[in-house]
Structure 1
Amino acid sequence: MEDKVVLIVGGSGGIGSACGRVFAKAGAKVVLAARNQQKVEEVAKEINDEGGEAFVINVEVTDLASVSKMAREVTEDLGSIDVLVNAFGTAVIQPLLDINPEDAKEMLDVNVYGTFLVTQTVVRYMATKKKGRVIMFPGSVGKYSMKNSSLYSASKFAITGFTKSLVKEYKRSGVKFTLMYLGGVDTPMWDSETVDMRVQKDKMLSAEEVAKSTYYAANQPEGSVLNEITIQPESHQMV
């Protein structure tokens, strides 16, 4: 991973920042992109202080001009993007009749339209170079149903279907895709006002564990691809 350019969208906390640390330790040039500039800069400073190479860029994933600017600046300043990690997203986990339509629209815009926009923009560059890896995080609710997660699951199943179609579209193009089906991960998401769910964070996966698996998926030999990974906390095992 030495000197490879890794763009992590959603790098301000949780899985994104943990991925930034892992990739930087392996010698990658890590770009942390997020809307919250302050948090991202704190993570980048930590990485750089430890001898890594991290850069910060602001992005609004639902705005085409912002996403295009991000991809263009990263490519011009650092070179071709080798790995895209789509680690952003919001959650609305509530009973159907309790969901505020405004919250629903915002989540679908970020999780579905944002994922489409970022992926389309970056893959356009990757397809030209005939190389690149894209890591997606549909989570376990993009594979299995869960009570009170109807809308959230819909957004995550959309990512699964989107990615599986892209695998067929870009077969033998040099662009590779990985789906990460993760059970509960200890991230700030669970503290959101739109998540009505009691959880035991001490029994969840850690962001660091997930980051190591993400690195493993992204660091496969050139001629292979890790299509899907399912990781569950021991207490959430599903078959």
Structure 2
Amino acid sequence: MKDKIVLIVGGSGGIGEACARTFAKGGATVVLAARDQERAESIAKEINESGKEAYVIGVEVTDLSSVSNMVREITQDLGPIDVLVNAFGTAVIQPLLDIKPDDAKEMFETNIFGTFLVTQTVVRYMATEKKGRVVMFPGSVGKYPMKNSSVYSASKFAVTGFTKSLIKEHQRSGVKFTLMHLGGVDTPMWDSPKVDMRVRKDKMLTPEEVGKAVYYAANQPEDSVLNEMVLQPESHQMV
């Protein structure tokens, strides 16, 4: 990944942080885009102090001007984006009748509209360059529905359908797409009051394991693409 520019949206913790550290270790220049710039700055500082290269930029994924400014600044200051990692999202995992409509709306706006907006903006540049890779995270619930995940699964199935359509649409543009169907990952998401589940984090995937898988997917030879990966803890296996 030497000399590659990797944009990680949602780079202030969890999977995004692990991806940033893994890509930087592989020689890439990483850009951590996040709402929580303070936390992202701390991660970037550690990466830079290790002799690697990392930058931070603020973004609101549901705001067109914010997303456009982010992509324009990166391409002008650093060069074309080689890899986009869409590591952001929110979760509402509750029984249907308990879900507050405003919570569902906010999640759909982030997980679906935000994914559309960031992807469209970056891919517009990638298609011009005739190269680039995009990594999406529909998770296991974007492939296998589970109890109490109705609206969350709906948002993640939307990401799956969106990406599979883009694969068809961009077969000749040079832009490649990867779907990461992950089982439970030990991230702060599970501590949210909007996630009504009893979980065992010690049985989950670690963000570091996921970071390695994402790096592997994005580091395929130029003439190949890893379209889908299902990675689950042994205790979460579904087929």
Which TM-score bucket, shorter chain as reference? over 0.9
For the aligned residues, what is the CA RMSD? 0.5
Superposed displacement of residue 173, structure 1:
1.4
Give 2:201's aligned residue.
Answer: 201
Matches within 5 A, 1:214-225: 214-225=214-225
AA matched with 2:137: F
State how far apart, in whole Å, the 2-side matches of 1:10 and 1:3 are: 22
State how far apart, in whole Å, the 2-side matches of 1:49 and 1:91 are: 33
Superposed displacement of residue 172, structure 1:
2.1
Give 1:75's aligned residue.
Answer: 75
State how far apart, in whole Å, the 1-side matches of 2:178 and 2:149 are: 23
Give 1:134's aligned residue.
Answer: 134
State how far apart, in whole Å, the 1-side matches of 2:52 and 2:100 are: 42
- C-alpha deviations, 1:188-207, integer Å up to 9, x for none? 00001100001000000000
Matches within 5 A, 1:54-65: 54-65=54-65
Give 2:110's aligned residue.
Answer: 110
SS in 2 for 1:51: coil
- C-alpha deviations, 1:189-238, integer Å up to 9, x for none? 00011000010000000000000000000000000000000001001111
Superposed displacement of residue 14, structure 1:
0.3
State how far apart, in whole Å, the 1-side matches of 2:103 and 2:50 are: 39
Give 1:185's aligned residue.
Answer: 185
Percent identity (aligned): 78
Superposed displacement of residue 46, structure 1:
1.1
SS in 2 for 1:133: strand
Give 1:162's aligned residue.
Answer: 162
State how far apart, in whole Å, the 1-side matches of 2:220 and 2:172 are: 16
Q: Which runs of 5+ in 1 are unaligned?
A: none
Superposed displacement of residue 52, structure 1:
1.1
Q: Give runs of ≥4 in structure 1 deviating > 3 Å.
A: none
State how far apart, in whole Å, the 2-side matches of 1:135 and 1:111 are: 14
The TM-score with structure 1 as length reference comes to 0.99
Q: Which runs of 5+ in 2 are unaligned?
A: none
The TM-score with structure 2 as length reference comes to 0.99
State how far apart, in whole Å, the 1-side matches of 2:180 and 2:172 are: 21
Superposed displacement of residue 154, structure 1:
0.2
